[in-house]
Amino acid sequence: MKIVLNNWICKSSNFVSIVSMQVLIKFFLCLIMTISIVMMQLCFPANAENIPESCISSSNLKVTVLSISQLGLVHHARMHRIEHSKHKQEKTQSRDQDPSSRRRNEVTTLTNVSPDISASNALSEYNVDSAFSGIYHPPTKQWMALASEGASLKTAQPISTVAQFGGHAQVERALVTKTGLVNVRENVAFVLILENANTLRIKWNSISVNQRNFGDRAAPRHYRAIIMEAIRNETGYRVIE
C-alpha cells in the first residue's frame, strides 16, 4: 500500500510539474507576444493595427516572433522605401513645376480640344520638315496631333515624340485620355509635315488606325476635306496634300 501511494504521489508530482511547465511556457509566450506587439507598434506606428500575420498566430497560442535584429531590418527597409518614394515624388513635382519642361510637353501637342498652347504658336517653334502624327474623330470633330520622331524645335531643346511607325496608336490613346472617347473604330489617322512658316502638308497613310478601321492604310477620301478644314481652322496654316 505504501509503495502504491508513493507511486501515485510521484505520478501526481510529475503531472503537476508538466502542467506547471505548460503554464509557464504559455506565460512566457504571452509575454513574448506582448513584447512583439509593442515592438511592431514602435516600428510601424502608422500601421500598428495591421500587424503582419507572420508575426503572430492565435491558433493554440503559436507565436512566431521577429528578433530585435529582424525588426530593425524591417524598420530600416520601410524607412528606405519611404525616403525613396519621397525623393521620387519631389523629383516629379520639381519637373512638373519647371516651366521650361512643362512648355516642352505642351508644345508637342496640336489639338482643338482645350489646348494648353495654341496650335499656331506651337508650330511656330518647330523647324521645317518636322512631322506630327494625328487622329481625327468624325462624330465629335475633335483631333490631336503629336510631334513625331525626327521633329525638332528651333531652340534645339529636347522634346518627347511618338514613334514614326506605330505612332498613331500612341496619339489615339492620348486623344482617348483627353476626351474620354469610347468608340475608336471611327478614328481617321493622318500625318502633318511643316512645309514652311505658314504651310502644312498632310498625308493619309496609317497601318495601326486606318488599316484597322477601314481596311486600307489610306484614309477614306470623304473625310479628307473635312479634316483639312478642321486643321486649317485651328492652326491658321494653309493645308495642302
- Would you kindly state where each structural domain of the chain is located, as residue ranges? 2-97, 108-240
pTM above 0.75, yes or no: no
Residue carrying C-alpha cell 494625328: 134
Cell reading at 227: 479634316
Handedness of CA 161, 174, 229, 241 (dihedral sign): positive
Give the pLDDT confidence score for residue 48 in this predicted structure: 42
Angle between helices 99-106 and 68-97 (to 10 degrees): 70
Q: Are 168 and 159 in contact (CB under 8 A)?
A: no
Residue carrying C-alpha cell 488599316: 211
Averaged pLDDT, groups of 10, the chain, 241 residues long: 52 55 69 68 50 46 45 54 59 47 68 93 96 97 96 94 92 94 94 96 97 97 97 97 96
Q: How far apart are CA 143 and CA 145, in angstroms?
A: 7
Q: Are 228 and 219 in contact (CB under 8 A)?
A: no
Extended beta strands in 53-205, E state: 109-111, 131-137, 142-147, 188-196, 199-203
H or E element at residue 238: strand 238-240
SS3 160: coil
Q: How far apart are CA 63 and CA 30, in angstroms?
A: 9
Give the pLDDT confidence score for residue 107 in this predicted structure: 86
